[in-house]
Amino acid sequence: MTTVTEARQHLGRIGVWLNNALTATAPADEQRRALARIEQLGYGSAWTGESTGGRDIFAKLGIWLAATDRLVIGSGVATMWARPGITMAAGAATLAEAYPQRFVLGVGVGFPRQAASVGRQYGRPLTRLREYLDEMDTQPEAALTPSAPRAEIPYPRVLAAVGPKMLALAGERADGAHPYASPVATTAQARAILGPGKLVIPEQLVIYHRDPAQALARAREYRAQSLSALQVIGGAAGSPYGRNLIRLGYTAEQVNTVNDTVIDAIMAHGDESAIATRLREHLAAGADHILINPVAPDLSTTVDILERLAPAVLHL
């Protein structure tokens, strides 16, 4: 059985992406309680991201794995700027050995500000990530000792990818792709580029409210906040996600403003039925596993939303 086949079996259809701003600050005990609830609800996986200088993602995910019994845990993503490639490979192998078939490594090139924070030049993202994967995969023999041999336990590796070239790299050098902040069209494009033998695991932002008008209002508010944050890196249209939307036919004006067309494309907003409909669209477009990312002020409220959604989404 291949790594991809095993991953599909253990992941199921629906998982959870927990906001990095919350997992970077919430106490460990609070995270343990949240992960135990997510597992009890029946979701297949839980993922989160990482920022340079914050909590180490392998330590954080180790806490999550220890707090649960069957939940698959993923990095969405571990940033290449936080550690050398040889250290990334060693950290992933350690968790995979300790928790067989329960860990997925997501790797990404991140943002220029992350590279700058550790005194590195961002360069060309595709080239930099390819070089980093080389570093992960060709560990120097001098680093291997009888007490620390090269790990042989397989684990799935996916790349943060939304554009065609990065998706092609995911097909060449990984077990699949983890598109973030992207519409269903990106899921379809990922499946077309990767083919049937690779994983497609999109993240889906969710604004949950049973009143559609309230849900849209909250989505607009969240989009405005996101646009303000993206000004730090040169505007939404200059981000990888903005460039992806423009490639898909959205205008720079739509991407750079609080535009309902873009909101509808990248956010699932509304009640249980509306959220379930969007997830079905991802599955029809070729997703193996979809990560629900609810917008909420804290982890407890996040899991409350997941509990309300569970009856509608866990049997898709």
DSSP string, 244-268: HHHHTT--HHHHHS--HHHHHHHEE
Average pLDDT, the chain: 93
Closest CA to 181 of 116, 112, 255: 255
Find the helix packing angle between 299-313 and 272-285, rounded to 10°: 70
Residue spans of alpha helices (H) in the chain:
3-11, 20-23, 28-41, 57-67, 85-98, 112-117, 125-137, 164-173, 184-194, 212-230, 240-247, 252-256, 260-266, 272-285, 299-313
Q: Where are the domains of the chain?
A: 3-206+269-313
Going by pLDDT thresholds of 50, 70 and 90, the confidence category of residue 143 is: low
Find the helix packing angle between 272-285 and 184-194, rounded to 10°: 20
pLDDT over 70 percentage in the chain: 93
pLDDT, tens only, 10-29: 999 999 999 999 999 999 99
Closest CA to 207 of 314, 272, 309, 295: 295
Hey, how many other C-beta atoms are within 10 angstroms of the C-beta on 85? Answer: 18
The answer to whether the CB of 74 falls within 8 A of the CB of 20 is: no
The reported pLDDT for the residue numbered 152 is 67
The answer to whether the CB of 153 falls within 8 A of the CB of 100 is: yes
| pLDDT above 70 for 211 | yes
Q: Which CATH number is 3-206+269-313 given?
A: 3.20.20.30
Going by pLDDT thresholds of 50, 70 and 90, the confidence category of residue 146 is: low
pLDDT, tens only, 176-194: 999 999 999 999 999 999 9
Is 140 buried (19+), middle (13-18) or exposed (0-12) by CB count in 10 A?
exposed
Hey, how many other C-beta atoms are within 10 angstroms of the C-beta on 83? Answer: 19
Structure-token pair, residue 173: 């050098």
Going by pLDDT thresholds of 50, 70 and 90, the confidence category of residue 238 is: confident
Structure-token pair, residue 7: 């991953």
Residues whose CB is less than 8 angstroms from the CB of residue 79 and which lie 6 or more positions away in sequence, other chains included: 49, 50, 51, 52, 108, 109, 110, 114
Hey, how many other C-beta atoms are within 10 angstroms of the C-beta on 106? Answer: 28
- Residue 53 has φ and ψ, to the nearest 5°, of 85, -5
d(CA 27, CA 1): 38
Is 36 buried (19+), middle (13-18) or exposed (0-12) by CB count in 10 A?
middle
**Residue type for 50, please?**
E
| pLDDT above 60 for 78 | yes
